[in-house]
Amino acid sequence: MPLHPHQQRLRDGETVIAVNLGGRNPDVMGALARGGAHIAFVDCERSGIGLDAATDLIRAAKVAGLSPMVRSWSPDPAVLVQYLDRQADGLIIPHIDTAAQAAEAVEVVRYACGEQALDKSVIVQIETGLAVENIDEILGVAGIDAFLIGPNDLAYSLTGRRGVTTPEVTAAIDQVSARLRAAGLRFGMPANWQQLAQFQGRGATLLYFPIEWLLERSLAELGSQLGIR
């Protein structure tokens, strides 16, 4: 399959909106595409959906014009290959702490897809203190399309408290962002509205939204217009 236009946007460093579907929700694909989303983030790590559901979501995303990418519940190559065999456009690999782990993720795509590996996207997540320590080695691995910084897990790794914003956490995010920006690599973060300008100021072009954030904001705006509290 040729490279999806939204994958090309990602590689070109244009702003890309990725929406975590939050479960088995194929019927939302059309609305997301019409609303301007680019990537259907099929989350098999946190939502608990299985391979059959992921397959349905991949197919629905393609019909709607979105680029489906899967975050696996396991880094096991035998698991990752299954999503690629079901025509996911790419993989989102959580908890990449070392260059060796990053290289293994890239190699899985090459093994599974052969000559079509160039048409697949690899996004690795940076979300631990160890990953921050190893960031220069990780970003030197060829074949990675983008990096997704996980502020919540990174905060837990550094402070023992998930989601907190401390000078230590902010400094770690700034350090990783600066390294990636200096290397000319694409990266992103969860696009919380209050932090969106700050993220873009750091150079983030991959903006990640859980679908519940979009719903909560839309319903809050609707309630405000209707005078409902």
Domain with 186 in it: what CATH number?
3.20.20.60
Residue 154 inside a domain? The answer is yes
If one counts the domains in the chain, the total is: 1
For residue 108, give the nearest of 127, 93, 128 by alpha carbon: 93
- Whether the CB-CB separation of 31 and 60 falls below 8 Å is answered with no
Residue 229 inside a domain? The answer is no
Cα-based torsion angle of the residue sequence 213, 219, 223, 228 in order, rounded to the nearest 10 degrees: -90
Residue 24 inside a domain? The answer is yes
Residue 37 inside a domain? The answer is yes
Residue 26, CA distances (Å) to 20, 21, 23, 40, 142 in order: 12, 8, 9, 10, 33
The token pair at 201 is 């100021």
Residue 166, CA distances (Å) to 10, 131, 180 in order: 30, 18, 21
- Whether the CB-CB separation of 143 and 153 falls below 8 Å is answered with no
The model's pTM = 0.92
Give the side-chain half-sphere CA count within 13 A for 132. 22
- Residues whose CB is less than 8 angstroms from the CB of residue 221 and which lie 6 or more positions away in sequence, other chains included: none
Residue 216 inside a domain? The answer is yes
- Whether the CB-CB separation of 38 and 63 falls below 8 Å is answered with no
Residue 61 inside a domain? The answer is yes
The token pair at 14 is 């244009």
pLDDT at 200: 85
For residue 130, give the nearest of 163, 95, 177 by alpha carbon: 95
Helix (H, G, I), strand (E, B) or coil at 183: coil
Domain that holds residue 78: 5-222
Residue 38 inside a domain? The answer is yes
Question: Mean pLDDT in each 10-residue stretch from start to end of the chain (229 residues)?
Answer: 89 96 92 97 92 96 97 91 96 95 95 92 96 96 95 91 89 94 94 83 93 92 89
Biggest CA–CA distance in the chain, Å, is 57
Residue 228 inside a domain? The answer is no
pLDDT at 1: 62
